[in-house]
Amino acid sequence: MKQEFHDVIVVGGGNAGLTAAITAREYVDDVVVVEKAPEPKRGGNSFFTGGRMRIPHRGLEDLAELSGMDLGELSNIDLDPYTEQDFYADMQRQTHYRTDETLARLVVNGARDGIRFLRSLGSRFELPLGFDDVNRSGRLKLVGGDDLQHYEGGPGLVAVLLKACQDRGIAVRYESAGRELLRGPDGIEGIVVHTPEGPVEMRARAVVLACGGYEASPSKRNAYLGAGWDLAKVRGTEFNTGDGLDMAFAIGARGYGHFGGCHSVAADFFADDFGDRQYGDVPERVSYHYGITVGSDGKRYFDEGADMRAYTYARSGRTIVEGTPDSYSVQIFDAKTVDLLRDTYRFFKAVKCVSDDLREIAEELNVNAENLVATVEEYNRSIQPGTIDYTVRDGVSTHGITPPKSNWATPLDTPPYTAFPVAPAITFTFGGLKVDTSATVLDEGDKAIRGLYAAGEMVGGIYYHNYPGGSGLVSGTVFGRIAGATAGRRAAQPVPA
């Protein structure tokens, strides 16, 4: 078998992996990234993200200074401060208080430095307008806490990171899939990589696993997440099939976190099975709080107003799998709210039905018409008086129906009605490897596996059940920096005699 020798090998070419490689290069000269995808499909899941990032800040002026935005162009924007304690509290609340406290603190405390690091590479940032901003008398109020967005989204982020790798002489080897970790007396000594020319034994004193979860593997989704998940669409790359986990488990690494949990959204039922390189990820449908959602039986099955979008959208795909018999549902809005929907609903390929007659919508979208009419009538009667305010959880709710709608309950009574068929689409999985604060992977006895590090989706224990929007890319950047630094320092040390 052909052999190669390097200082640090990074497996995976998304945000976390490229960040780790760039950071490791600060310590050693020979860093290589191996990426399973071909070059035209580079960037991992990061390419398909909107580039949203959740960052602690003291308000608009502080956020603009941190990210380099021109404050003069933001004069009509209102933005409340979002503190580190707010971020940490949201991490706890959204994970049902299961998030690993130490790992969560690392993400929260390292978020601002992560933005500074990306800026040093040439990243540009902007406010995510057109998604969660609410117009109040001509001023825009940003809500949800994920207040920053990388310019040109995920593709822009990946382009910056790849340019930084090129500038530093970091090779990115495409169509190179990691298959086996090599372990010796001093820990991990390299990895076997399958390439178009055959297997290669790549030797190094440090290996960083940053090759994603198992979201693109239907068999692993069914095994870990449960029945029905094999039908889910994948919002990003088709290459994240759990290879890194398989390799790590084979040498005794400890699994950690919520293997039955994932980030998943309600998405266009007729979208492609994987993310679209030209138009982005599978088109999401996450403005459900402006209307109601029913299954094919014509009945509501979850609380569309449980919380702000940023705190519910990452479980909206799971509600479809668990709440419907066929992983199919329909979101319905009326003329009062349809213009409030996120820009993703106006994608040119969006499938929708518009009619003054709910029965016509039911027939067109394969929903039980009698039940749909009865559901809407019951829902409208149950709404309690109050003033709708989409910038906060306003408490305008239903009474006496199950499930309730806890906020923003407004009657569905003004035709034409607009309906969108939706299905679950998975973004990434939550189960991963157990790491310490240096991003070193631990074995089943909680002892460090020397020379093996993890970042990005490979890190388990951060997310359970749910996810605060915009924290995934930040986590990848933070742990990419930590893993890269630890790997680089190890590789820079003299080899033990």
What are the boundaries of each domain within the chain?
2-214+430-492, 265-425
Instruction: Tell me how far apart the alpha carbons of residues 369 and 366 are, in angstroms, rounded to a whole number.
Output: 9
Within 8 A by CB and 6+ apart from 359, the residues are 369, 372, 373
Q: CA torsion angle for 303, 304, 305, 306 (degrees, to 10)?
A: 50
Within 8 A by CB and 6+ apart from 358, the residues are 332, 369, 372, 373, 376, 417
Q: Does the domain spanning 265-425 belong to CATH 3.90.700.10?
A: yes
Q: Return the CATH superfamily for domain 2-214+430-492.
A: FAD/NAD(P)-binding domain (3.50.50.60)
DSSP state of 495: P
pLDDT at 64: 94
Instruction: Tell me how far apart the alpha carbons of residues 161 and 67 are, in angstroms, rounded to a whole number.
Output: 17
Q: What is the pTM of this model?
A: 0.93
Structure tokens given for 226? 């449960």
pLDDT at 347: 76
Instruction: Tell me how far apart the alpha carbons of residues 268 and 344 are, in angstroms, rounded to a whole number.
Output: 10
384 HSE (CA, 13 A, CB side): 13
Q: Do 432 and 257 contact (CB within 8 A), yes or no?
A: yes
Give the residue from 426, 417, 468 showing the smallest Cα distance to 271.
426
Give the residue from 468, 88, 428 showing the smallest Cα distance to 258.
428
Give the residue from 170, 158, 188 showing the smallest Cα distance to 34.
170
pLDDT at 348: 66
* E strand segments, 103-232: 125-126, 133-136, 139-142, 148-150, 171-173, 177-184, 187-195, 198-203, 206-209
Instruction: Tell me how far apart the alpha carbons of residues 489 and 206 are, in angstroms, rounded to a whole number.
Output: 9
pLDDT at 16: 98
Based on DSSP, count helices (H) and strands (E) in the chain, helices before strands: 11, 24
pLDDT tens, residue order, the chain (497 aa): 899 999 999 999 999 999 999 999 999 999 999 999 999 999 999 999 999 999 999 999 999 999 999 888 788 899 999 999 999 999 999 999 999 999 999 999 999 999 999 999 999 999 998 777 888 778 988 889 999 999 999 999 999 999 999 999 999 999 999 999 999 999 999 999 999 999 999 999 999 999 999 999 999 999 999 999 999 999 999 999 999 999 999 999 999 999 999 999 999 999 889 988 876 667 889 999 999 999 999 999 999 999 999 999 999 999 999 999 999 999 999 999 999 998 889 876 789 999 999 999 999 999 999 999 999 999 999 999 999 999 999 999 999 999 999 999 999 999 999 999 999 999 999 999 999 999 999 999 999 999 999 999 999 999 999 999 999 999 999 999 999 999 999 999 987 76
pLDDT at 258: 98
Q: Do 304 and 391 contact (CB within 8 A), yes or no?
A: no
Q: Do 460 and 488 contact (CB within 8 A), yes or no?
A: no
